[in-house]
Amino acid sequence: MKNARDKNYMPDSYGYFGEYGGRFVPETLVAALKELEKGFRHIARSPSFRSELSHYLKYYVGRPTPLYFAERMSADLGGAKVYLKREDLAHTGAHKINNTVGQVLLAKKLGKKRIIAETGAGQHGVATATAAALFGLPCEVYMGELDVKRQALNVDRMRLLGTKVVPVYSGSMTLKDAMNEAIRDWVTNVETTHYVIGSVAGPHPYPEIVRYFQSVIGTEAKRQIMEAEHRLPDVLIACIGGGSNSMGLFYPFIKNDEVKLIGVEAGGLGIKSGKHGASLTAGEKGVLHGTMTKILMDRDGQIINPHSISAGLDYPGVGPELSHLHDTGRLKVFTANDDAVLSATSYLSKTEGIIPALESAHAIACARTYVKRLPKNTVVIINISGRGDKDMDIIRENIDLINNKGRLKEYHD
């Protein structure tokens, strides 16, 4: 139907990556998306914008983030060389800030007066609130009521940053519902407002814009690994919610076919239980939040409420480009269940002194089994997309499980 993606891994002019992507939005938003696309092409990619953005990335966000050789973990996992890309050390504690500083700066150049965002874990909300404060724009963040409860620390942070947090009570009261509500706000206030989508999801051009701003992760990692190992890595591992930290790491390596791309989705209580967030593993092609991609739905095409212990992966869709890369085989996908994730959180904390976000711990959980099978001297980069402070309540509630004694506490169904 639409022309296929070209060899440069760019979406076609309708925003399709192969069969996935597009712009499934109410007519009211079409003009704004076109304006955003134009602004992105002409402003965000201009040398002057890029140099302004690099300034903020360096002096404000604290980039480049280290690529750390995890010595004890490498030894423990049998000799492959494991490097951790430390996005947890970026300002506000996760990779989300790379995108929000870029988008809010762009919004400002486009003359927008107000910023809105959706958030799950609250990391994107905090990162948007931060960028809005940095550039002096009022900000409102939509957050499912369940996430308001389980990520209370981030709610307080957003409020302290001057952002209004709007709890969302519809549906599963998690990320997807927050995104519905943010879209409705945008439909209503489109003339004055920029909607900062937090992942490589949503309608064209968001998947491309967010990938562009997050690619700094992979660009740095590539340079850093060349310095450390004088060669490309063999494997990249990242967790996948909407897909921004993974695309950010993967994209600069995408044409290096010898570099394996591994994504880890939320296995929740297990794929068979039906309570998970694994859209690539268990979803089917459909349309959600403005894009055609792999989604979790029932026989009638109604969206299924996902489940994950990590609010940031508790989403029934995924960025369209990841669906495409998965179909073509370029991307391999695994899942990590809630209990393995808690255990991986404890593992990284005790082995390397790094407390990862529960989202990032999915990548660690996968690595713990995957890396063991790799030959010695294989070079692996794992994206630590964020730090775990926000998850301390959940970790405390499950401390018995973490100490191999108790069972997983259930949060919702």
Partner 1 sequence: MTDRIKNTFGALAERGEKAFIAYIMAGDPDMNKTLVYARALIQGGADIIELGMPFSDPIADGPTIQQAAQRALQSKTNISKIFALVRTLRKTSGIPIVLMGYINPVLKYGTKRFFEDAARSGVDGLILPDLPLEEIDHVKEYAVQSGIDIILLAAPTSDRKRLVELLRHTRGFLYYISMTGVTGSQKKMGHAAFESIRWIRKNTQKPVAVGFGISTPRQAKTIAALADGIVVGSAFVKLIENNKNASARIAALTRSLKSAVNIH
Ligand X SMILES: Cc1ncc(COP(=O)(O)O)c(C=O)c1O
Contacts with ligand X by CB under 6 A lie at: 94, 96, 120-121, 123-124, 199, 239-246, 312-313, 357, 359-360, 385-386
Q: In sequence order, what are the beta bridge partners of 166? A: 142
Query: Is residue 28 a contact point for partner 1 (CB under 8 A)?
Result: yes
Indicate which residue of 37, 87, 118, 208 is catalytic. Answer: 118
Query: Is residue 379 a contact point for partner 1 (CB under 8 A)?
Result: no
| Selected range binding partner 1 among 43-51, 106-114, 182-190, 265-273, rule: CB under 8 A | 182-190
Query: Is residue 295 a contact point for partner 1 (CB under 8 A)?
Result: yes
Which residue from 66, 78, 301, 406 is in contact with partner 1, where contact means CB under 8 A? 301
124 binds, among ligand X, partner 1, none (CB under 5 to 8 A by kind): ligand X
Indicate which residue of 81, 96, 108, 112 is catalytic. Answer: 96
Report which of 374, 410, 379 is spatially closest to residue 394, judged by C-alpha positions: 410
Query: Is residue 167 a contact point for partner 1 (CB under 8 A)?
Result: no
Report which of 393, 50, 27 is spatially closest to residue 215, judged by C-alpha positions: 50
Query: Rounded to the nearest whole angstrom, what is the least distance from the CB of residue 41 to partner 1 in the complex?
Result: 17
DSSP annotation of 27: H
* Between 318 and 361, CB nearer to partner 1: 318
Indicate which residue of 244, 308, 346, 385 is catalytic. Answer: 385
Report which of 239, 240, 234 is spatially closest to residue 253, judged by C-alpha positions: 234
245 binds, among partner 1, ligand X, none (CB under 5 to 8 A by kind): ligand X
Q: In sequence order, what are the beta bridge partners of 356? A: 387
Query: Rounded to the nearest whole angstrom, what is the least distance from the CB of residue 214 to ligand X in the complex?
Result: 8
**How many Å is the Cα radius of gyration of the chain?**
19
First to last CA, the chain: 38
Query: Rounded to the nearest whole angstrom, what is the least distance from the CB of residue 195 to partner 1 in the complex?
Result: 12
| Selected range binding partner 1 among 82-90, 258-266, 270-278, 285-293, rule: CB under 8 A | 285-293
The SS3 assignment for 236 reads: strand
| Selected range binding partner 1 among 42-50, 87-95, 181-189, 399-407, rule: CB under 8 A | 181-189
Using CB atoms within 10 Å of the CB of residue 330, give its burial: 0 to 12 exposed, 13 to 18 middle, 19+ buried. middle
* Between 33 and 221, CB nearer to partner 1: 33
- Give the Cβ contact number of residue 54 at 10 Å: 12
Using CB atoms within 10 Å of the CB of residue 75, give its burial: 0 to 12 exposed, 13 to 18 middle, 19+ buried. exposed
Which residue from 77, 201, 261, 288 is in contact with partner 1, where contact means CB under 8 A? 288
Query: Is residue 36 a contact point for partner 1 (CB under 8 A)?
Result: no
Query: Rounded to the nearest whole angstrom, what is the least distance from the CB of residue 74 to ligand X in the complex?
Result: 22
Site for partner 1 in 192-221 (CB under 8 A): none
Which residue from 54, 170, 256, 403 is in contact with partner 1, where contact means CB under 8 A? 170
Query: Is residue 286 a contact point for partner 1 (CB under 8 A)?
Result: yes
Stated as kind and residue range, the H or E segment containing 336 is: strand 331-337
Query: Rounded to the nearest whole angstrom, what is the least distance from the CB of residue 286 to partner 1 in the complex?
Result: 5
Stated as kind and residue range, the H or E segment containing 140 is: strand 139-144
180 binds, among partner 1, ligand X, none (CB under 5 to 8 A by kind): partner 1
Query: Is residue 183 a contact point for partner 1 (CB under 8 A)?
Result: yes
Report which of 239, 258, 257, 259 is spatially closest to residue 247, judged by C-alpha positions: 239
The SS3 assignment for 229 reads: helix
Query: Is residue 4 a contact point for partner 1 (CB under 8 A)?
Result: no
The SS3 assignment for 97 reads: helix
Q: Are 250 and 95 in contact (CB under 8 A)?
A: no
Note if 385 is an active site residue.
yes
Query: Rounded to the nearest whole angstrom, what is the least distance from the CB of residue 233 to ligand X in the complex?
Result: 19
Stated as kind and residue range, the H or E segment containing 164 is: strand 164-168
* Between 143 and 183, CB nearer to ligand X: 143
Note if 34 is an active site residue.
no
If you write DSSP's letter for every residue of 251-319 in order, what string do you get?
GGGTT-TTSEEEEEEEEET-GGGT-S--HHHH-EEEEETTEEEEE-B-TTSPBPP---SSGGG--S---
Report which of 413, 360, 410 is spatially closest to residue 384, judged by C-alpha positions: 360
Query: Rounded to the nearest whole angstrom, what is the least distance from the CB of residue 148 to partner 1 in the complex?
Result: 18
Strands (E) in 129-168, as ranges, are 139-144, 164-168
Q: Mind telling me the catalytic residues?
A: 96, 118, 385
Residues that bind partner 1 (CB under 8 A): 1-2, 14, 22-32, 170-171, 176-177, 180, 183-184, 187-191, 285-290, 295, 297, 299-303
